[in-house]
Amino acid sequence: MRESFFPDFDWHTVFVQPWTEYASNSFWIALMGFLVSGTCGLVGCFVILRRMALVGDAISHSLLPGITLAFLLTNSRATLPMMIGAIVAGVATVALIEAIRYSSRIKPDAAIGIVFSSLFAVGVLLISAFADKVDLDAECVLYGELGFIPLQDIAQFGGIEIGPGPVVRMAVIALIAIVLLLIFYKEMLVTSFDSALAASLGINPTRYQYGLTLLLSIVIVSSFESVGVVLVIAMIIFPGATALLLTDRLPIALWLSTLFSALYALLGFHLATWLNASIAGGMTVIAGFLFALVWLVAPRRGLIARYVRPNQALESPIEPLESSV
Amino acid sequence: MKRVASIAAALCAASVAHAAKIGDLTDTTWTSQAIEFLSLDTPIVRSAVLGTLLIGFCCSVLGSFLVVRKLALLGDTLSHAVLPGVALGFLWNASKDPWAIFIGATAAGILGVALVGWIKQTTHLKEDSAMGMVLAGFYGLGICMTTVIQNMAMGNKSGLDKFFFGQAAALSSGDIQLLGIISVITIILVLLFYKEFLAISFDVGFAQAIGMPVQLLHYALMALLTFAVVVSLQAVGVVLVSALLITPAAAAFLLTDRMHWMLVLSAAFGMLSGVLGAFISYLSHNLPTGPLIVLGATLIFILALLFGPRHGLLTKIIHRRRQRQRIALENTLKAVFHLCEKAHFKRKAFATSELSVERNSNLRAIESEIRNLEKAGMAEPMDDPSQAQLSGKARFKLTTEGWYRACEIVRNHRLWELYLTNAADYQSDHVHDDAEEIEHLLGKDLVQRLEKRLQNPIHDPHGRLIPSKDQLTV
C-alpha cells in the first residue's frame, strides 16, 4: 500500500534486483512477454497489411464463449479442449462476419462490431448463468496477467527439464508460426499486396486469408492468458505498425517488429516492476510510447520529416484508404 | 490457460458476482416479478427502466451516424479509450467523484478519436490499424493505471470495476439526469443540424465544398458520442457499449433507405432492447443486464436481417420463389396460346394431353400447372376434374383474364424478337432464347415504347401474328 501514484524511482529495485535476487523468475516472465509479443507481432505484420486488424480484435473477444463452452462441455481446464473451443470460436467469428457481409448490405466494420459484441455477451451470460460451475472470470480473460503465469510446473522433454510449461508451450506456438510463415512466405507476400497477381500465379487469396485467420486465432488463444484479450490486440498491431513506419521492405519490417517486441517485453517488465502494475499493461504503454516516438522521428514518414520535407514523405507503396472524414 | 482460474482468484477475488442484477430478489415467482417490473412500482425498477431507455436512445441515435459513415468500430475504440480518463478522474481527488471521472473519460475519449484521425492523416497506416492501436494502447494505459490504483492505499477499486462490465442497477439518479441531459442535447442538435450531419455522413466532399464546418461537426458528434459512451459504460460495460452503438443502427439500416427513418427506427430498437434486457435480467436471478441488452439488440438485428421487407434474406427467398411461380404460370399460358394458334383460334377448350405434347412435359406436371392457373382464376375446367384425372382427357379453357395475360406474354415475346432483328441486327433464328427470358420482365410502358419504335407491327420475324388485346378476343 502506498500513497502516491508514481513511487520513488530506485535504480536498484527497478533494474538490478529483478536480475539478481529474482533472476530466474524475471527471466521467464520477460521471455514469456517476448514470445507473446514477438509471435503476435510477426503474424500482426500480415494482419496489418491485409487491413484485418479489427478482425483480430473481434476474434480475441469471441474467445470468451468458446473457452466457456469448452469448459462447460468437458468440465476441465485442460489446455487442449479450451484451445479447440477458442479456435472454433475464432473461425466461427470470421465466418459469421463474412456471412453478414455477403448476405446483406451491412458494411464489414458494422458486421465485425455486431458479431464480436454478441458473442462476447453470450460468453458473459454463460459465465454468470453457470457461475457456480465455471471457474473462469470474464474480467480475467479481459486483463490477463503475465506475473501470474504458473512458473512452477516445469515441462520435461525426454527427462530433461527445459522450462516452465506455459513458456515452453508459447515457444512451440511461436516456432509453429515462424515455420508456417517461412514456408508460405512468398504466397503470403503476394496475396497481401496484390490478390490479382496472386490469382494469376495460381495462388488462391481466399485460402491464405483463412489460413492467416486460423493462425491469428491460434496465436491469440495462446497469448490471452498472459496479456488478456484486449492487450493481445496491442501486441498484434503495435510492432508491425511501428516497423512499417520505418521501412517499406517486409523482411526488414518483420525483423524490426521482433526487435520492438523484445523492447516491449524488457522495458514493459521494468516499468511494471517500478509502478507495481500489470506487466501486460506496462508492455502496452511502452508499445504506445515507442510508436509515438517512431511516428515523430521516423526518417521518411515521421512527423518531423513530413514537416521538414513535406513532399517526400507522402509517397507510399500502398495506396491510401479512401477517407471518410 | 490452465490457470485462468488462479489468475481469476488472485485478481478479482471479490468480484465473482460482477453479474449484476436489478434489485435483490429472493423467494418470488417469475410471474410476480414480471408484474412487479411492469407496474414500475419500485424506484429501482423505475430508474433501471428509465436508464436503459435513455441509454438505448442516445447510443443508437448517435451510433446511426457512425454506421452510415462506416466508422462503426470507432465506438468500440472510444469505449476502450476512455479507461485511462476514468482512472485519471479517479486519481484526481482519490474518490469516485462522478464529475471528475466524467470529465477525465470525455477528455480521453476525444483525445483517442483525434489520435485515430491524426495517425490516419499523417502516416500510411490504415484506419483499422489506427483504431486498433488507440483502442489497445489506451486500454493498456488504463489497465496499468487501475492496477496501480488498486495497489494504492486509497484503492477503493469497487468504483472502477463497474466500468468493465457494467450494472444497470448501478445507475445513480445523477447518472440518469446526465443521460437525460445528453439525450435532450442529442435531440436538439440532430434536429437543428440534421442537414449538416446528413451531408457529412454521406458526402464529405460536398459538405466541404459548400463551406460546412466539417471538422467541427465531426468533433461535436464525437463529443456527444463520448458523453453517451461514458455514462452508458457504467450500465453495460466497456465491450458491450459498442454493441449498443452499432447493432440497433445496423438493424435500422437494413430496413430503410431514409436517414430520418433510420434514426427513428434505431432509437426505437435501442430503447426496446434496453427495456427487454432490463426485464429479462429482472426475471432471472443472476443474469447481468448488459449482455442481455446486447443480445436483445442482436435478436432485433437477426429479425431485420431475415424478415426485412426489402433486404431481408427470407423476403428475398420468398420473392424469388413467387417470381419462379409467376414465370411457370406465364409459360403455361403461352403454351395454351400456341395451341390456340395452331387451331387457328377456332377452338377454346383443350385437353391436358394436348398441352402436355405442346409443353413436352408429363401429364402430372401439366395437371398441376392447370390447377395453378385455375387457382389464379385464369382457366376453368370444362369437365368434372375428378373423373378425368391423369387420363389426359380433362378439358379446360382459359378465362378472359387468362386469355389477356397469354396474349400479353406472347406479344412481349414476339415484340422483343422483332426488336432484336430490326433494331439490334440479330439473325431471326437467334432471337428466341433472349425473348424467352425478357418476356416475363417487360413492363407496360416499355411495351408501349417498343410498339411505337417498331411502328405497331403486326407480324414477328417468323411471320406470326403479334397478338394485341383489341384484335384477339375469345
Q: What percent of chain A has pLDDT over 90?
A: 20
The reported pLDDT for the residue numbered B267 is 94
Question: How many CB atoms neighbour CB A65 within 10 A?
Answer: 25
CB spacing of A325 vs B2 below 8 angstroms: no
CB spacing of A120 vs B240 below 8 angstroms: yes
The residue in chain B having the minimum alpha-carbon distance to the alpha carbon of residue A140 is B8
**Chain B closest CA to A317's CA: distance in Å?**
9
The count of structural domains within chain A is 1
User: Within an 8 Å CB–CB cutoff, is residue B122 touching chain A?
Assistant: yes
Residues 267-306 of A with CB under 8 A from B: 271-272, 275-278, 280-285, 287-288, 291, 295, 301, 303, 306
CB spacing of A234 vs B247 below 8 angstroms: no
**Chain A closest CA to B128's CA: distance in Å?**
6
CB spacing of B122 vs A120 below 8 angstroms: no
The residue in chain A having the minimum alpha-carbon distance to the alpha carbon of residue B164 is A139
Residue A29 lies in a domain: yes
User: Within an 8 Å CB–CB cutoff, is residue A319 touching chain B?
Assistant: no
Give me the interface pTM, i.e. the ipTM.
0.84
Contacts of A303 in chain B (CB under 8 A): 122
Quote the Cα angle for A302-A305-A309, to 5°: 140
Structure-block grid coordinates of residue A318:
500502398
Exposed/middle/buried for B328, CB within 10 Å: 0-12, 13-18, 19+?
middle
**Chain A closest CA to B225's CA: distance in Å?**
16
Cβ contact B78:B113 at 8 Å: yes
Contacts of B247 in chain A (CB under 8 A): 113-114, 117-118
B20-306: CATH superfamily: ABC transporter involved in vitamin B12 uptake, BtuC (1.10.3470.10)
CA–chain centroid gap for A275, Å, is 23
Length of chain A: 325
φ, ψ for residue B396, nearest 5 deg: -145, 165
For B123-179, the pLDDT digits (tens) are: 888 888 899 899 989 988 888 888 787 776 555 554 555 566 666 666 777 778 888
Q: What is the interface size between A and B, counted as CB pairs within 8 Å?
A: 310
Residue A320 lies in a domain: no
The reported pLDDT for the residue numbered B138 is 92
Is the pLDDT assigned to residue A86 strictly greater than 90? no
Contacts of B153 in chain A (CB under 8 A): 1-3
As a three-state string, the secondary structure of B160-178 is: HHHHHHCCHHHCCHHHHHH
Which of B144, B218, B247 is the closest to A325 by Cβ? B218
* H or E, element range at B380: strand B379-381
The CA distance from B141 to A288, in Å, is 9
**Chain B closest CA to A185's CA: distance in Å?**
22
**Chain B closest CA to A27's CA: distance in Å?**
20
Q: What is the CATH number of the domain that holds A84?
A: 1.10.3470.10
Q: What CATH number is given for B315-398 in this structure?
A: 1.10.10
Tracing cell 458520442 back to the chain, one arrives at B225
CB spacing of B1 vs A225 below 8 angstroms: yes
CB spacing of B135 vs A57 below 8 angstroms: yes
For A212-261, the pLDDT digits (tens) are: 888 888 888 888 777 777 788 889 999 999 999 998 888 999 999 999 99
Residue A286's pLDDT band (cuts 50, 70, 90) = very high
Residue B73's pLDDT band (cuts 50, 70, 90) = confident
Tell me if B20-306 shares its fold with B315-398: no
Mean pLDDT of A311-323: 48
On average, the pLDDT of chain A sits at: 81
Which of A51, A103, A234 is the closest to B313 by Cβ? A103
Distances (CA, A) of A142 to A319, B7, B89, B112, B166: 35, 11, 22, 20, 14
Residue A219 lies in a domain: yes
The reported pLDDT for the residue numbered B27 is 52
Cβ contact A205:A191 at 8 Å: yes
Within chain A, strands assigned E span 154-157, 160-164
Contacts of B7 in chain A (CB under 8 A): 140, 143-145, 148, 225
Three-state DSSP class for A161? strand
Exposed/middle/buried for B342, CB within 10 Å: 0-12, 13-18, 19+?
exposed
The reported pLDDT for the residue numbered B469 is 55
Structure-block grid coordinates of residue B61:
441515435
Q: What percent of chain B has pLDDT over 70?
A: 84
Helix, strand, coil fractions of chain A, as percent rounded to 5: 75, 5, 20
For A170-213, the pLDDT digits (tens) are: 888 899 999 999 999 888 888 888 878 888 888 888 888 888 88
What is the reported pTM? 0.79
CA within 13 Å, CB half, B357: 9
CB spacing of A118 vs B298 below 8 angstroms: yes
Residue A188 lies in a domain: yes
Residue B4's pLDDT band (cuts 50, 70, 90) = very low
Mean pLDDT of B27-51: 73
The CA distance from B243 to B250, in Å, is 10
The residue in chain B having the minimum alpha-carbon distance to the alpha carbon of residue A112 is B73
Residue A19 lies in a domain: yes
Residues 81-140 of A with CB under 8 A from B: 82-83, 100, 103-107, 109-110, 112-114, 117-118, 120-122, 124-125, 127-129, 131, 135-140
**Chain B closest CA to A231's CA: distance in Å?**
6
How do the domains of chain B map onto residue ranges?
Answer: 20-306, 315-398
CB spacing of B136 vs A238 below 8 angstroms: yes
